[in-house]
């Protein structure tokens, strides 16, 4: 059975990066290991950062909007032999269109489209790790925010080098906003 979930954090791990999907109200999270580019795409979406030119997930979302197709939800459905499976559920003219997708792409779209995320209880039972204390939650949240700040600071440097001061000002404001959350 599918249960509502949320992106708890994106973290660095020995194996690379991981997005942790947490069923709402649960004290466990499912780490899904992803590449660094996928992690950046999710972090940019979580930060609601608008890039000067659209990234792939932004382009896909714009295309869907132009075609009058809505991202209804994403579902993380299975874990087979260490590989997670997900589905992107679109709505076109009142009918669902179900597409097979990598979980990282689904999550990157979900955080941009602000659509619901669901995960199968069996996946949570098999791969979930306990979230033991509020202190650890805060530490992970701080790590996520710090990752977002680091990324935005690099983008700020690029914007200043390119003399794109309007973009630099927006990035500076987003960095300050995130720093206030620490």
Q: What is the DSSP string of 94-137?
A: TEEEEEEE-HHHHHHHHHHHT--EEEEHHHHHHH-EE---HHHH
At the second CATH level, the architecture of 2-131 is Roll (3.10)
pTM, 2 dp: 0.73
Report which listed range, 11-20, 115-124, 143-152, is most confident: 115-124
pLDDT classification of 134: cutoffs 50, 70, 90: very low
pLDDT of residue 121: 97
The DSSP secondary-structure symbol of 2 reads E
Check if the beta carbon of residue 59 is closer than 8 Å to that of residue 86. Answer: no
Task: Tell me the pLDDT of the chain averaged across its residues.
Answer: 88
pLDDT of residue 133: 38
pLDDT of residue 182: 63
Q: Domain limits of the chain?
A: 2-131, 132-182
Looking at the predicted structure, is the pLDDT value of residue 143 above 80? Answer: no
pLDDT classification of 171: cutoffs 50, 70, 90: confident
């Amino acid at each position: 059975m599918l249960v509502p979930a949320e992106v708890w954090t994106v973290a660095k791990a020995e194996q690379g990066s991981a997005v942790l999907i947490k069923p709402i109200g649960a004290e466990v999270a499912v780490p899904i290991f992803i590449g660094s580019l996928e992690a950046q795409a999710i972090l940019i979406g979580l930060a609601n950062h608008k890039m000067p030119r659209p990234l792939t997930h932004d382009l896909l979302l714009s295309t869907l909007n132009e075609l009058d197709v809505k991202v209804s939800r994403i579902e993380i459905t299975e874990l087979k032999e260490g590989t997670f499976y997900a589905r992107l559920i679109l709505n076109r003219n009142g009918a669902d269109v179900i597409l097979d997708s990598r979980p990282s792409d689904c999550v990157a779209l979900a955080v941009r489209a602000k659509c619901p995320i669901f995960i199968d209880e069996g996946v949570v039972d098999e791969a979930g790790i306990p979230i033991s204390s509020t202190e650890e939650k805060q530490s992970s949240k701080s790590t996520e925010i710090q990752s977002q700040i680091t990324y935005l600071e690099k983008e700020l440097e690029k914007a200043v080098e390119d003399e794109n001061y309007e973009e630099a000002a927006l990035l500076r404001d987003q960095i300050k906003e995130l720093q206030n959350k620490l």
